Protein backbone atom coordinates (compact mmCIF):
# COMPACT_ATOMS: atom_id res chain seq x y z
CA UNK A 1 0.00 0.00 0.00
CA UNK A 2 1.31 3.43 -0.96
CA UNK A 3 1.05 6.42 1.37
CA UNK A 4 1.35 10.10 0.48
CA UNK A 5 1.46 11.78 3.90
CA UNK A 6 3.71 9.34 5.73
CA UNK A 7 6.47 6.80 5.25
CA UNK A 8 6.02 3.19 6.28
CA UNK A 9 8.61 0.44 6.55
CA UNK A 10 9.08 -2.79 8.45
CA UNK A 11 12.56 -3.85 9.55
CA UNK A 12 13.35 -6.76 11.87
CA UNK A 13 9.79 -6.99 13.12
CA UNK A 14 9.38 -3.24 13.76
CA UNK A 15 6.99 -1.14 11.69
CA UNK A 16 8.02 2.52 11.61
CA UNK A 17 5.37 5.06 10.62
CA UNK A 18 6.96 8.46 10.00
CA UNK A 19 4.77 11.50 9.35
CA UNK A 20 6.02 13.11 6.15
CA UNK A 21 4.61 16.63 6.11
CA UNK A 22 7.59 18.38 7.67
CA UNK A 23 6.84 21.63 5.84
CA UNK A 24 3.48 21.72 7.69
CA UNK A 25 4.93 20.47 10.99
CA UNK A 26 3.13 17.18 10.23
CA UNK A 27 -0.28 18.75 10.78
CA UNK A 28 -3.15 16.31 10.38
CA UNK A 29 -5.34 16.34 7.28
CA UNK A 30 -8.29 14.13 6.40
CA UNK A 31 -6.04 12.05 4.16
CA UNK A 32 -3.32 11.79 6.78
CA UNK A 33 -5.71 10.57 9.47
CA UNK A 34 -6.96 7.82 7.16
CA UNK A 35 -3.40 6.86 6.23
CA UNK A 36 -2.26 6.72 9.86
CA UNK A 37 -5.16 4.41 10.70
CA UNK A 38 -4.34 2.18 7.72
CA UNK A 39 -0.61 2.11 8.46
CA UNK A 40 -1.07 1.24 12.15
CA UNK A 41 -3.52 -1.52 11.20
CA UNK A 42 -1.02 -2.85 8.67
CA UNK A 43 1.79 -2.69 11.21
CA UNK A 44 -0.28 -4.65 13.70
CA UNK A 45 -0.50 -7.47 11.14
CA UNK A 46 2.99 -7.34 9.64
CA UNK A 47 5.19 -6.49 12.62
CA UNK A 48 5.70 -7.22 16.32
CA UNK A 49 6.03 -3.57 17.36
CA UNK A 50 4.87 -0.30 15.81
CA UNK A 51 6.61 3.08 16.13
CA UNK A 52 4.95 6.38 15.20
CA UNK A 53 7.27 9.35 14.78
CA UNK A 54 7.61 12.60 12.85
CA UNK A 55 9.94 14.17 10.33
CA UNK A 56 11.58 17.57 10.60
CA UNK A 57 11.28 19.64 13.76
CA UNK A 58 7.81 18.52 14.83
CA UNK A 59 6.14 15.29 15.81
CA UNK A 60 2.68 16.58 14.92
CA UNK A 61 1.24 20.08 15.31
CA UNK A 62 -2.39 18.93 15.40
CA UNK A 63 -5.21 19.72 12.99
CA UNK A 64 -4.24 21.37 9.72
CA UNK A 65 -6.75 24.24 9.76
CA UNK A 66 -6.10 24.97 6.09
CA UNK A 67 -7.26 21.49 5.07
CA UNK A 68 -11.00 22.12 5.14
CA UNK A 69 -11.51 25.52 3.54
CA UNK A 70 -13.59 27.83 5.76
CA UNK A 71 -12.50 27.02 9.31
CA UNK A 72 -15.70 28.46 10.76
CA UNK A 73 -17.75 25.90 8.86
CA UNK A 74 -15.87 22.77 10.00
CA UNK A 75 -18.18 20.16 11.52
CA UNK A 76 -15.89 19.29 14.42
CA UNK A 77 -18.17 16.63 15.88
CA UNK A 78 -18.32 14.77 12.57
CA UNK A 79 -14.58 15.13 12.04
CA UNK A 80 -13.81 13.70 15.45
CA UNK A 81 -16.30 10.85 15.07
CA UNK A 82 -15.51 9.83 11.48
CA UNK A 83 -11.82 10.69 11.14
CA UNK A 84 -10.11 10.96 14.51
CA UNK A 85 -11.85 8.08 16.27
CA UNK A 86 -10.84 5.41 13.70
CA UNK A 87 -7.23 6.63 13.81
CA UNK A 88 -7.06 6.66 17.61
CA UNK A 89 -8.81 3.29 17.91
CA UNK A 90 -6.35 1.78 15.44
CA UNK A 91 -3.55 2.85 17.79
CA UNK A 92 -5.16 1.80 21.07
CA UNK A 93 -6.48 -1.50 19.66
CA UNK A 94 -3.28 -2.45 17.84
CA UNK A 95 -2.46 -6.06 18.84
CA UNK A 96 1.26 -5.36 19.19
CA UNK A 97 3.03 -2.74 21.36
CA UNK A 98 3.00 0.82 20.01
CA UNK A 99 5.59 3.51 20.69
CA UNK A 100 5.14 7.21 20.00
CA UNK A 101 8.65 8.53 19.39
CA UNK A 102 8.05 12.26 19.85
CA UNK A 103 10.87 13.97 17.98
CA UNK A 104 9.67 17.56 18.44
CA UNK A 105 6.59 19.66 19.04
CA UNK A 106 3.44 17.67 19.81
CA UNK A 107 0.53 20.10 19.92
CA UNK A 108 -3.25 19.81 20.04
CA UNK A 109 -4.45 16.56 18.54
CA UNK A 110 -0.81 15.70 17.83
CA UNK A 111 -0.07 15.58 21.55
CA UNK A 112 -3.07 13.37 22.22
CA UNK A 113 -2.32 11.09 19.29
CA UNK A 114 1.03 10.44 21.00
CA UNK A 115 -0.66 9.71 24.32
CA UNK A 116 -2.82 7.05 22.64
CA UNK A 117 0.29 4.90 22.13
CA UNK A 118 1.30 2.31 24.71
CA UNK A 119 4.65 3.98 25.37
CA UNK A 120 5.73 7.58 24.70
CA UNK A 121 9.43 8.36 24.34
CA UNK A 122 10.34 11.98 23.67
CA UNK A 123 13.48 13.83 22.81
CA UNK A 124 14.54 16.37 25.45
CA UNK A 125 13.85 19.26 23.08
CA UNK A 126 10.26 18.13 22.47
CA UNK A 127 7.22 19.60 24.18
CA UNK A 128 3.52 18.85 24.54
CA UNK A 129 0.88 21.53 24.18
CA UNK A 130 -2.87 21.33 24.77
CA UNK A 131 -3.47 24.36 22.57
CA UNK A 132 -7.24 24.02 22.29
CA UNK A 133 -8.45 26.79 24.62
CA UNK A 134 -6.31 29.27 22.69
CA UNK A 135 -8.93 29.02 19.93
CA UNK A 136 -11.98 28.45 22.11
CA UNK A 137 -12.07 24.64 22.08
CA UNK A 138 -11.63 21.79 24.55
CA UNK A 139 -8.92 19.11 24.34
CA UNK A 140 -10.05 16.45 21.90
CA UNK A 141 -8.56 13.40 20.15
CA UNK A 142 -8.75 11.67 23.52
CA UNK A 143 -7.13 14.48 25.49
CA UNK A 144 -9.80 14.64 28.19
CA UNK A 145 -9.40 10.87 28.63
CA UNK A 146 -5.61 10.46 28.57
CA UNK A 147 -4.50 13.57 30.45
CA UNK A 148 -6.03 12.88 33.90
CA UNK A 149 -5.13 9.20 33.62
CA UNK A 150 -1.50 9.89 32.77
CA UNK A 151 -0.65 12.77 35.10
CA UNK A 152 -3.53 13.27 37.52
CA UNK A 153 -6.46 15.65 37.71
CA UNK A 154 -4.58 18.74 38.91
CA UNK A 155 -1.90 18.69 36.20
CA UNK A 156 -4.43 17.72 33.52
CA UNK A 157 -6.72 20.60 34.41
CA UNK A 158 -3.87 23.11 34.38
CA UNK A 159 -2.55 21.80 31.05
CA UNK A 160 -6.02 22.09 29.48
CA UNK A 161 -6.96 25.48 30.93
CA UNK A 162 -3.69 27.37 30.65
CA UNK A 163 -2.60 25.81 27.32
CA UNK A 164 1.06 26.18 28.23
CA UNK A 165 3.84 24.03 26.76
CA UNK A 166 4.94 21.07 28.86
CA UNK A 167 8.57 20.13 28.28
CA UNK A 168 9.50 16.52 27.66
CA UNK A 169 11.30 16.42 30.99
CA UNK A 170 8.25 17.78 32.80
CA UNK A 171 6.07 15.24 31.02
CA UNK A 172 8.38 12.46 32.14
CA UNK A 173 8.56 13.73 35.73
CA UNK A 174 4.75 13.99 35.91
CA UNK A 175 4.15 10.50 34.55
CA UNK A 176 2.62 11.77 31.31
CA UNK A 177 5.17 9.86 29.20
CA UNK A 178 7.59 6.99 29.74
CA UNK A 179 10.88 8.84 29.27
CA UNK A 180 12.71 11.87 27.87
CA UNK A 181 15.91 11.11 25.99
CA UNK A 182 18.89 13.21 24.93
CA UNK A 183 18.45 14.55 21.41
CA UNK A 184 21.71 13.08 20.11
CA UNK A 185 20.80 9.51 21.04
CA UNK A 186 17.02 9.76 20.57
CA UNK A 187 16.49 7.75 17.39
CA UNK A 188 18.97 5.03 18.32
CA UNK A 189 17.28 4.79 21.70
CA UNK A 190 13.73 4.33 20.47
CA UNK A 191 14.91 1.89 17.82
CA UNK A 192 16.52 -0.19 20.57
CA UNK A 193 13.34 -0.03 22.65
CA UNK A 194 11.23 -1.10 19.68
CA UNK A 195 13.60 -3.96 18.88
CA UNK A 196 13.30 -5.14 22.48
CA UNK A 197 9.51 -5.27 22.20
CA UNK A 198 9.64 -6.93 18.79
CA UNK A 199 11.76 -9.72 20.26
CA UNK A 200 9.50 -10.18 23.28
CA UNK A 201 6.47 -12.36 24.06
CA UNK A 202 3.86 -10.96 21.68
CA UNK A 203 0.95 -12.86 23.21
CA UNK A 204 1.76 -11.61 26.71
CA UNK A 205 2.17 -8.06 25.41
CA UNK A 206 -1.28 -8.21 23.80
CA UNK A 207 -2.82 -9.31 27.11
CA UNK A 208 -0.88 -6.66 29.05
CA UNK A 209 -2.23 -3.96 26.75
CA UNK A 210 -5.82 -5.18 26.90
CA UNK A 211 -5.86 -5.76 30.66
CA UNK A 212 -4.27 -2.46 31.67
CA UNK A 213 -6.37 -0.43 29.24
CA UNK A 214 -9.55 -2.22 30.31
CA UNK A 215 -8.75 -1.92 34.00
CA UNK A 216 -9.98 1.67 34.25
CA UNK A 217 -13.57 0.49 33.93
CA UNK A 218 -13.35 -2.60 36.15
CA UNK A 219 -13.97 -3.24 39.82
CA UNK A 220 -11.14 -4.97 41.68
CA UNK A 221 -12.99 -8.30 41.57
CA UNK A 222 -13.57 -7.99 37.83
CA UNK A 223 -9.95 -7.05 37.21
CA UNK A 224 -8.64 -9.96 39.28
CA UNK A 225 -10.85 -12.30 37.27
CA UNK A 226 -9.58 -10.75 34.05
CA UNK A 227 -5.99 -11.23 35.18
CA UNK A 228 -6.66 -14.87 36.00
CA UNK A 229 -8.20 -15.60 32.63
CA UNK A 230 -5.44 -13.88 30.71
CA UNK A 231 -2.70 -15.41 32.82
CA UNK A 232 -4.17 -18.85 32.19
CA UNK A 233 -3.93 -18.31 28.45
CA UNK A 234 -0.37 -17.00 28.70
CA UNK A 235 0.61 -19.88 30.98
CA UNK A 236 -0.57 -22.40 28.40
CA UNK A 237 1.52 -20.82 25.64
CA UNK A 238 4.80 -21.91 24.16
CA UNK A 239 6.20 -18.50 25.06
CA UNK A 240 5.77 -19.18 28.79
CA UNK A 241 7.47 -22.56 28.54
CA UNK A 242 10.31 -21.07 26.50
CA UNK A 243 10.69 -18.19 28.97
CA UNK A 244 11.00 -20.54 31.94
CA UNK A 245 13.44 -22.87 30.20
CA UNK A 246 15.55 -19.93 29.02
CA UNK A 247 15.61 -18.53 32.56
CA UNK A 248 16.77 -21.86 33.99
CA UNK A 249 19.35 -22.27 31.24
CA UNK A 250 20.54 -18.69 31.72
CA UNK A 251 20.08 -17.72 28.07
CA UNK A 252 17.92 -15.21 26.18
CA UNK A 253 14.43 -16.50 25.42
CA UNK A 254 13.46 -17.03 21.78
CA UNK A 255 9.81 -16.15 21.54
CA UNK A 256 7.96 -17.36 18.46
CA UNK A 257 5.45 -14.51 18.33
CA UNK A 258 2.06 -15.26 16.87
Using one digit for the tens of pLDDT, what is the confidence trace for 123-155? 999 999 999 999 999 999 999 999 999 999 999
CA–CA dist 60, 84 (Å, integer): 14
| CATH class in words for 202-248 | mainly alpha
pLDDT digits (tens, 9 = 90+) for 176-202: 999 999 999 999 999 999 999 999 999
Strands 98-102 and 49-53: parallel
The total number of residues shown for the chain amounts to 258
pTM of the predicted model, to two decimals? Answer: 0.94
CA–CA dist 148, 144 (Å, integer): 7
pLDDT digits (tens, 9 = 90+) for 1-29: 889 999 999 999 999 999 999 999 999 99
Domain layout of the chain by residue ranges:
6-198, 202-248
Q: Is CATH 3.40.640.10 the classification given to domain 6-198?
A: no
Q: What burial class does residue 212 get, using C-beta atoms within 10 Å of its C-beta: 0-12 exposed, 13-18 middle, 19+ buried? A: exposed
CA–CA dist 66, 230 (Å, integer): 46
- Among 38, 35, 50, 74, which residue's Cα sits nearest to residue 197? 50
Amino acid sequence: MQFETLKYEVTDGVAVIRFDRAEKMNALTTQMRAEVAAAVTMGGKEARAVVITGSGRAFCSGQDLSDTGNVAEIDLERTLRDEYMPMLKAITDCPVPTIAAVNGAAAGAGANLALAADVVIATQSAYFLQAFTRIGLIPDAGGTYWLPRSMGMAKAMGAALFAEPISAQQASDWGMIWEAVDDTSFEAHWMKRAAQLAAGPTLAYAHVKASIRGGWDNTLDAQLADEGRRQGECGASRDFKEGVVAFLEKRPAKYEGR
